[in-house]
């Protein structure tokens, strides 16, 4: 949630900050702003709306400063207004902060700060941080401990540390002060912050996407860590003032992976590049010569995985739908009892973690706060925790015992597409990896490997139906209520199809097990309602066809996702999207593609921004 970028170097900060905000706009786009220290003064410019609105406000401003902070907001406390936009100043106007996260004790702190003479201009919890730092900075009992050259630097650093120790909740922050015009401070707890190390310059951001144009060398801050950046270098410490040995890492993707590459939208690019991204995900992991699944990230734990008595899975949103497919895969292929939890609910009940439980957390960003909390709860209760994430160096990747990266490249569109198919592929490979070491024959494993290797090419054939899917979306885009139905492995796909339509077209849609329709939702069926059946040839095909007939008898509009060559379903469906035949366990990687395209085309026809749907943000780092 929200995007932070900060710069200290030998170039003008303004264009670098604006460019960084554009690359982070998918993290939040309710308002935006920047603060630059220019000729010793803090120059603040903010605007409600998109980055383009901020650019209009900046058009007449020649900011020369080479130190600044910027922010694009997803609103939590306070409406999406200019007054609530970041950066926020302290009551003196000399300290500026940008903040991601939620401060849970802000009301108590705000009341106390007002009693101390601080004033507030916004409704946000974030402004408390600026005034808290200010209170400690201007505390007369603070002496300049390092002499005149570094006295103000140490004073600001100390004030930030003391302020952070008073906060309950989560934060990723960047701080500057006009009184210390060559110092940039950043810190994190539960909200990502990365420090890019360039040639004579430093870029601090909440996402590597804002850094990669300038450098591929980065430091990922850990929880309760902060960095003090000056023109001469940087220091990493904890908020308790203990030194931290910074580990410099390589950002894994290049700038061209962030470009539109001729597509009108990131969502379209990410849908249509799935044949390649899935091939990248599978690359090096399916050894056809030896007939093995090779997963280097978990190789050292193979014995523990084979001895597991139970699999737990936690995730949110689209990743939860992938996890539900994973539950079926582990039970079917590896003969392991499995259960998928909403990560947001997991830690608020009393979950049972038995001996030899393997707990899997799934998150595209690796920063989803609810999923991170579930990870920590599972570890506390003694589970072996694995991560399935896309972002290298992310918090979840660092805190799990081991894990598997998706390797599908950065996903910019807010509505997840290629990450979902990557998650399905990784879960399938992990289930096969365990299954072979438990009960599956070598011959059967090789059968699955051959089928998996064909999936990227098969996705390409599904994508060829985009124009036809557009025509169907054109016909029904004004219908405001849809049902998505599937059985077995296709039930999670139905959930995902409904979610995609809701997220970007703002059409109300429900995903259900097809058999559950008759237990109530069938009352909704009218000749005006589109009902999408995810119905490829499978072990439950005949049962699904019975449900199709029930809808047909009540006049519902039937849109089917079916296996190529299935003529039976054409007798019932008004429209059919086809997918190539494959093994039942692999079908979700194909059947979800038409539903992604359906949502994409419907949203465009309805005039919506598919990459930045209202009220949403890419990485949910708040509760």
pLDDT at 623 over 60: no
Residue-by-residue DSSP string for 233-291 = EEEEEETTS-B----EEE--S-GGGGS-TT-SSHHHHHHHTHHHHHHHHHTTTEETTTT
Cα–Cα distance, 384 to 166 (Å, whole number): 33
Q: Are 38 and 13 in contact (CB under 8 A)?
A: no
∠ at Cα 472 (471, 473), nearest 5°?
90
- Burial class for 533, CB neighbours closer than 10 Å (0-12, 13-18, 19+): buried
Residue range 464-612 forms a domain whose CATH class is alpha beta
Q: Once rounded to an integer, what is the mean pLDDT over residues 213-238? A: 93
pLDDT at 165 over 60: yes
Q: Which of the four pLDDT bands, split at 50, 70 and 90, describes residue 55?
A: confident
Higher pLDDT, 216 or 271: 271
pLDDT at 420 over 70: yes
CB burial readout 300-334, b (16+ within 10 A) else e: ebeeebeebebbbbbbbbbbbbbbbbbbbbbebbb
Cα–Cα distance, 234 to 255 (Å, whole number): 25
Fold of 260-462: Rossmann fold (3.40.50)
Mean pLDDT (the chain) is 92
pLDDT at 355 over 90: no
84-116, pLDDT tens digit by residue? 999 999 999 999 999 998 899 999 999 999 999
507-519, pLDDT tens digit by residue? 999 999 998 888 8
List the domain boundaries for the chain: 3-251, 260-462, 464-612
Cα–Cα distance, 511 to 522 (Å, whole number): 13
Supply 559's token pair: 């849109």
Tell me the backbone φ, ψ of residue 555, rounded to 5 degrees.
85, 10
Q: Are 618 and 493 in contact (CB under 8 A)?
A: no
Residue 589, number of CB atoms within 10 A of its CB: 27
Strand locations in 9-145, DSSP E?
31-38, 41-48, 67-73, 88-89, 95-100
Cα–Cα distance, 259 to 266 (Å, whole number): 8
The DSSP code for 515 is G
Scanning the structure block, which residue is given the tokens 């300038």?
Answer: 214
Supply 292's token pair: 């093995």
What is residue 149's predicted lDDT score, i.e. its pLDDT? 53
- Burial class for 441, CB neighbours closer than 10 Å (0-12, 13-18, 19+): exposed
What is residue 147's predicted lDDT score, i.e. its pLDDT? 47
What is residue 142's predicted lDDT score, i.e. its pLDDT? 60
Residue 286, number of CB atoms within 10 A of its CB: 19
308-332, pLDDT tens digit by residue? 999 999 999 999 999 999 999 999 9
Fold of 3-251: 3.60.20
The pLDDT > 70 percentage for the chain reads: 96
Catalytically active residues, by annotation: 2, 618
The DSSP code for 169 is B
What is residue 5's predicted lDDT score, i.e. its pLDDT? 96
Cα–Cα distance, 413 to 170 (Å, whole number): 25
260-462 matches 3-251 in CATH topology: no
Indicate the SS3 state at residue 293.
Answer: strand
pLDDT at 143 over 70: no
Tell me the backbone φ, ψ of residue 219, rounded to 5 degrees.
-120, 130
Longest Cα separation, the chain:
85
Q: Are 577 and 601 in contact (CB under 8 A)?
A: no
Q: How far is CA 41 from CA 13, 38, 44, 95, 133, in A?
A: 14, 5, 10, 10, 18
Q: Once rounded to an integer, what is the mean pLDDT over residues 350-371? A: 91
Shortest CA distance to 31 belongs to which of 12, 14, 51, 45? 51
570-594, pLDDT tens digit by residue? 999 999 999 999 999 999 999 999 9
């Amino acid at each position: 949630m929200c995007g932070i970028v900060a710069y200290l170097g030998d170039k003008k900060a303004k264009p670098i900050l604006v460019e960084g905000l554009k690359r982070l706009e998918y993290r939040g786009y309710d308002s935006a702003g920047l603060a630059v220290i220019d000729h010793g003064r803090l120059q603040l410019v903010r605007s409600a709306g998109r980055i383009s609105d901020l650019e209009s406000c900046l058009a007449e401003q020649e900011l020369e400063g080479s130190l600044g902070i910027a922010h694009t907001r997803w609103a939590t406390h306070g409406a999406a207004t200019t007054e609530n936009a970041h950066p926020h100043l302290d009551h003196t106007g000399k300290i500026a902060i940008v903040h991601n996260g939620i401060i849970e004790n802000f009301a108590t702190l705000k009341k106390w700060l007002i009693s101390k003479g601080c004033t507030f201009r916004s409704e946000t919890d974030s402004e408390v941080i600026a005034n808290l730092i200010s209170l400690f900075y201007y505390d007369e009992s603070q002496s300049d401990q390092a002499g005149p050259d570094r006295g103000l630097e140490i004073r600001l650093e100390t004030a930030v540390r003391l302020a952070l120790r008073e906060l309950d909740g989560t934060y990723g922050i960047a701080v500057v002060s006009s009184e210390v015009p060559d110092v940039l401070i950043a810190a994190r707890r539960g909200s990502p912050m990365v420090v890019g190390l360039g040639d004579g310059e430093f870029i601090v951001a909440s996402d590597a996407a804002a850094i990669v144009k300038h450098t591929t060398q980065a430091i990922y801050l850990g929880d309760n860590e902060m960095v003090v950046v000056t023109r001469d270098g940087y220091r990493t410490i904890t908020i308790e003032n203990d030194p931290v040995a910074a580990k410099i890492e390589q950002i894994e993707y290049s700038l061209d992976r962030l470009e539109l590459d001729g597509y009108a939208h990131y969502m379209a690019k990410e849908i249509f590049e799935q044949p390649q991204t899935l091939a990248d995900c599978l690359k090096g992991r399916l050894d056809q010569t030896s007939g093995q699944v090779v997963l280097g990230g978990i190789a050292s734990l193979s014995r523990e995985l084979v001895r597991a008595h139970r699999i737990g899975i936690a995730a949110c949103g689209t990743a939860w739908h992938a996890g539900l497919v994973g539950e079926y895969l582990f039970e079917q292929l590896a003969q392991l009892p499995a259960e998928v939890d909403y990560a947001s609910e997991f830690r608020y009940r009393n979950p049972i973690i038995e001996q030899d439980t393997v707990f899997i957390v799934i998150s595209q960003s690796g920063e989803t706060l609810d999923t991170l909390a579930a990870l920590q709860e599972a570890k506390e209760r003694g589970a072996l925790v694995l991560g399935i994430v896309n972002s290298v160096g992310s918090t979840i990747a660092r805190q799990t015992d081991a894990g598997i990266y998706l390797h599908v490249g950065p996903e910019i569109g807010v509505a997840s597409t290629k990450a979902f198919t990557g998650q399905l592929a990784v879960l399938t490979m992990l289930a096969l990896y365990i299954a072979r070491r438990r009960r599956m024959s070598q011959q059967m494993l090789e059968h699955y490997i051959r089928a998996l290797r064909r999936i990227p090419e098969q996705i390409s054939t599904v994508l060829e139906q985009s124009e036809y899917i557009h025509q169907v979306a054109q016909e029904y885009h004004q219908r405001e209520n849809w049902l998505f139905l599937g059985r077995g492995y296709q039930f999670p796909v139905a959930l995902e199809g409904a979610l995609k339509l809701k997220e970007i077209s703002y059409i109300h849609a429900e995903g259900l097990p097809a058999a559950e329709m008759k237990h109530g939702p069938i009352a909704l069926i009218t000749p005006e309602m589109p009902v999408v059946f995810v119905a490829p040839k499978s072990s439950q095909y005949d049962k699904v066809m019975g449900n199709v007939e029930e809808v047909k008898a009540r006049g519902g509009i039937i849109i089917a996702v079916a296996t190529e060559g299935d003529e039976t379903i054409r007798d019932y469906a008004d429209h059919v999207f086809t997918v190539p035949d494959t093994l039942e366990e692999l079908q979700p990687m194909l059947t979800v593609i038409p539903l992604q395209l359906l949502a994409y085309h419907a949203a465009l026809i309805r005039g919506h921004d598919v990459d930045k749907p209202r009220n949403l943000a890419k990485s949910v780092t708040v509760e």
